[in-house]
Amino acid sequence: MCSAGGNNVQKKSEYKKGGDRGELRGYDVHQVRYNQRLRAPLVLSFVSINLISLVVCDLPEGRHGQEESVKVLATIFKNGNELKRKIYSVQSTTELLEKTSELGLVLDRILKFNTDFQEFTDVESSVQISNLDRFQVHFSEAPHLQTVPREVCQTQPTQVPDLQAGLRPLLEMKVPEIFDELQTKGIVTEKTRLKLVKVCISDLVEKHGFYPSTTEKVVLAKNIITIFPSLKVQIDGRGEGFEHFFDPASRSGFLEMRLRNIRRKLEEGQRRYSRHKRSRDVNEMSSSVQDEGDSSDVREFINLMKRLRPSAENISSIKSAMQKTFTWRRSWISKHSPTMEEILQEYPRFLDIPTLAGSTIASLYNASQDPAQSTQPQLVCIGHLRGGSQQYVILGKSDKIAIPLDESLACAVDKFFKLYWVCNLAYPALLSSVFSFFEYIYDLPMSTNRRAKVQNFERLLRAIYAPQNIYCVHVDKTAEASVLSAIRAITSCLPNTFIVSQAVDVVYSAWPRVQADLNCMADLYKATTKWKYFINLCGQDFPLKTNLEIVRMLRSLNGGNSLESEKLPAEKMWRVTNVHQIVDGQIQGTGKAKEPPPFNLPILSGSAYFVVNRGFIRSVLEDKRILALMEWAKETYSPDEFLWATIQRIPGVPGSTRPSRKYDMSDINAIARLVKWQGHEGSQESLEAVYPKCQGSHVRSICVYGVGDLQWMLEHHHLFANKFDTDTDPIAVYCLEKYLRKKALSQLH
């Protein structure tokens, strides 16, 4: 097991994942100097970030790093037909090509199994290799090989003619709207971009099949930006501007994703390469190791484990092979129910290496490492029953509860897990991996994008971080223990970032949403007296301005506040005139009329997001009028959408404005947050529309921005925008992040 707060968790400034896109760079030297020079008077609070654990665990790797050669599984093809499949001990792909090449054959392409996409993808002949990688090497006959040097045949790319002359007429006929949009608006909508990619890929597949070469895809991407120069995108001045359509280095982009989607729907006879199932699809795999025609590579790994002695130098290879065969093993065991003897005969290393099962699970499931809470129940063995079996009891320390279990240890642990899950308790540290595995076996509801959500939080914190600010992070009280481990691992690297002292169970449209804000306000107010402004954020926000621009806009407020505060619409009056309560985790009306607000305060409509000064926070925490108003608001519906707007119009509150309608401020005029409400969208010609139609999707009538919304967002004065979702459109956040970083660096000079 590894500790989330220990040495196995890498510092934020040290952690990198897959190049620039997922990189956590830590503190940029120039950025730190620039921030220290500004001394921005700013406090930011993250409210209710429901994330799941990202814990980096280091497993022992034996002496694999000291070996000169690694073992790879290579399948050799000639003119598309498989010749052989064999494990090779090589030091590089160059050596692999030397061992697999035959006289009279020329290298056509080399593919490597991509674990992210679960399929074979083209790679260069000099790609980096690691132990137990899988390759497919394709050769073709070369009639004139005698007159052409072998090296040239292997390294020269296939020459593809320029496609621009044929591509433009095709697009003019099938995607005429792209020319109109670029001429009239200067931008391409998301819908048109998708159609452009679809038409281009259809033409490419018609000419070159479902598996075009890298060169052919690069030529297509280049010709697209040649025809449409405004679609050229260069991030940080790197690349040629076509990489967002197809990046030959990472095998990604709009064109590649469209090709993959097409190939996933191909029939078995149409596929050039075997399709490999993901771990979550174990029930769809073949039930027999011997009967499956595509099982040769799995069989090779199983035979490799049988041949390798359980010595120190082979442990790394054995563990890696066990991970490669995990899906197959689970399917075989679940469908055939083999005996223990049959399992150990097939996988004898379970006997030789006692830690193999535990390390395999630890590598597949991120374990929470927080110490077990004293109030958690525990499974205790209290003695032996007749016949040699043991007596187990579940003890609840805080409630003095004892549940006797007259069953085996396996059944006791199973019931122990179900008690935790039903009661929604944080899993104990030492059993977190086991309980997560039970979730998988029982197919219980669990987060399917844990890692992505943690990365979203890291990306947001990185975008707004400055050493002179203070950051309070609220994590939902009902979140798993692994949530707290992930957030603590991140915040522990930053001296000015902390987790709220008292978390709450946030309920949508109910008072706990406000209480989460209040708890962070109290912690920040006590932490230091040096900050001047408070801004609250959620996990789906992202900045539209650099730190320098945010500071300048805050100074322009001259000590005032900026938040939505308008007359409460008649259709929302029911929210404050009826009593509401939380029932079974949801807010519900009781049918009872609610008393008027204290001090006859007029209730105004607003937003959950705001930019307020320190004096405003002091009034919220100490002013008797506001304290009475908050107590009254606890039984209303969605109090976060009227409470702050009402406080902003109370006389005497620092930075407030008068109650007169003349001082109303809409969300469009306030700088706190840019939100697109579905009911206010429309075409540019419409006089009633507040903003153009959403280029992404909608959640609860709010636009989840797409990449087509970026230009519109950047034209506004708001500090932040909501909502973003990398599962819906990762390109939107990625481009915005790169834009802000480049702009921040340019402001240094």
- Short-list 588, 593, 568, CA closest to 578: 593
Please tell me whether residues 1 and 98 are part of one structural domain. Answer: no
* Residues in contact with 704: Cβ distance below 8 Å, sequence separation at least 6, in sequence order: 540, 694, 696, 697, 698, 723, 724, 725, 728, 729
Which of 127, 155, 183 finishes a domain?
Answer: 155
Spatial distance between the Cα atoms of 324 and 342, rounded to a whole number of angstroms: 20
pLDDT tens for residues 149-171? 433 333 333 343 444 557 888 88
At residue 398 the predicted structure's pLDDT band, cuts being 50, 70 and 90, is very low
Percentage of residues in the chain having pLDDT higher than 70: 63
Q: Quote the pLDDT of residue 272.
A: 64
- Please indicate, yes or no, whether residues 326 and 382 belong to a single structural domain of this protein: no
Residues 702 and 732 in one domain: yes
Structure confidence at residue 477 as a pLDDT band (50, 70, 90): confident
Where is pLDDT greater, at 242 or 599? 599
Query: pLDDT class for 113, splitting at 50, 70, 90?
Result: confident
Q: How far apart are CA 200 and CA 220, in angstroms?
A: 8
Tell me, what's the pLDDT at 280? 37
Distance in angstroms (rounded) separating the CA atoms of residues 30 and 35: 9
| CA 72/CA 133 separation, integer angstroms | 5
Supply the pLDDT for residue 135.
83
Top-confidence residue, 257 or 676: 676
d(CA 203, CA 372): 59
Is the domain of 173 the same as that of 266? yes
- DSSP letters of 107-174? EEEEEEEETTTTEEEEE-TT----TT-EEEEEEEE-TTGGGS-HHHHHHSPPP----HHHHHHHHHHH
Distance, in Å, from the CA atom of 713 to the CA atom of 436, rounded to the nearest integer, reads 40
Domain count, the chain: 6
| CA 732/CA 193 separation, integer angstroms | 14
DSSP label at residue 244: T
Q: Report, as an integer, the average pLDDT of 368-381.
A: 48
Instruction: Please say which residue of 235, 270, 305 terminates a domain.
Output: 270
Task: Report if residue 582 sits inside a domain.
Answer: no
What distance in Å separates the CA atoms of residue 145 and residue 122, rounded to the nearest whole number? 24
User: Phi and psi (nearest 5°) for 44?
Assistant: -125, 140
Range(s) of the domain holding residue 221: 164-270
Query: Does residue 434 surpass a pLDDT of 70?
Result: no
My answer on whether 176 and 142 are in the same domain is no
What does pLDDT average to over the chain? 74
Q: What pLDDT is stored for residue 248 in this prediction?
A: 81
Q: What are 682-735's pLDDT values in tens digits?
A: 887 777 889 999 999 998 889 999 999 999 999 999 999 999 988 778 889 989
Kindly tell me if the per-residue pLDDT of 396 is higher than 70: no
Q: Can you give the pLDDT at residue 115?
A: 63
More confident call, 370 vs 255: 255
315-324, 404-413, 523-532: which is most confident? 523-532
Of residues 231 and 337, more confidence is placed in: 231
Predicted pLDDT of residue 289: 32
Within this chain, do residues 711 and 688 fall inside the same structural domain, yes or no? yes
Instruction: Count CB-CB contacts under 10 A for residue 10.
Output: 14
pTM of the model: 0.47
Most confident of 321-325, 429-433, 629-633, 731-735: 629-633
pLDDT band, very low/low/confident/very high, at 106 (cuts 50, 70, 90): confident
User: How much is the average pLDDT of 134-159?
Assistant: 52
pLDDT of res. 542: 95
Asked whether residue 20 is assigned to any structural domain, the reply reads yes
Given a contact cutoff of 8 angstroms between Cβ atoms, the answer to whether 602 and 648 are in contact is: no
To the nearest whole percent, how much of the chain has pLDDT over 90? 29
Whether residue 495 contacts residue 66, with contact meaning beta carbons closer than 8 Å, is answered with no
Same domain, 126 and 142: yes
pLDDT at 452 (0 to 100): 54
Are residues 252 and 231 part of one domain?
A: yes
Max mean pLDDT among 12-26, 189-203, 321-335, 666-680 falls in 666-680
Q: How many CA atoms lie within 13 A of 381 on its CB side?
A: 10
Q: Is 11 inside a domain boundary?
A: yes
β-pair partners for 235: 238
Most trustworthy range by pLDDT among 401-405, 457-461, 559-563: 559-563
Would you say residue 554 lies in a domain?
A: no
Note whether 514 and 30 are within 8 A (CB): no
Q: Which pLDDT score, from 0 to 100, does residue 412 have? A: 67
Domain with residue 107: its CATH number is: 3.10.20
- Confidence (pLDDT) at 673: 95
Q: How far apart are CA 58 and CA 65, in angstroms?
A: 14
Q: Is residue 558 assigned to a domain?
A: no
DSSP 648: T
Average pLDDT over residues 586-595: 91
Whether residue 345 is found in the same domain as residue 326: yes
Position 179 confidence tier, pLDDT thresholds 50, 70, 90: confident
List C-alpha distances in Å: 396 to 358, 372, 381, 393, 418.
Answer: 27, 13, 14, 10, 14
Say yes or no: 168 and 262 in one domain. yes
Residue 599 included in any domain: no
Look at residue 34 and tell me if it is in a domain.
yes
pLDDT digits (tens, 9 = 90+) for 484-513: 777 788 888 888 999 999 999 999 899 999
Q: Is residue 552 part of a domain?
A: no
Task: Say whether both 107 and 147 belong to one domain.
Answer: yes
> What is the pLDDT at residue 366?
39
- Is it the case that residue 343 has pLDDT exceeding 90? no
* pLDDT of the residue at 104: 62
Whole-number CA gyration radius for the chain: 30
Span 338-359, mean pLDDT? 67
Whose structure tokens read 């132990």?
131
Q: What would the pLDDT profile of 180-208 be if each residue is shown by its tens digit? A: 888 777 777 778 888 888 899 988 888 88
Answer whether residue 54 shows pLDDT above 50.
no
Q: What does the alpha-carbon distance between residue 201 and residue 272 come to, in Å, rounded to a whole number? A: 18
Residues 692, 697, 701, CA angle at the centre, nearest 5°?
Answer: 75
More confidently predicted of 647 and 315: 647
Is the pLDDT confidence value at 409 over 70? no
Closest CA to 708 of 718, 697, 721, 694: 694
pLDDT at 430: 58
Closest among 564, 565, 559 to 654, alpha carbons compared: 559
Least confident of 431-445, 459-473, 516-530, 713-727: 431-445
| Alpha-helical regions (H) of 185-253 | 190-208, 214-227
Predicted confidence at residue 694, as pLDDT, reads 93
Catalytic residue among 641, 685, 715, 737: 641
Higher pLDDT, 565 or 35: 565
Query: Do 471 and 527 belong together in one domain?
Result: yes
Tell me how far apart the alpha carbons of residues 206 and 226 are, in angstroms, rounded to a whole number.
22
Active site residue 342: no
Which domain-ending residue is among 337, 364, 391?
364
Listed in sequence order, the DSSP H helices in 424-465 are: 432-442, 450-464
What is the Cα–Cα distance from 466 to 154, expressed in whole angstroms? 51
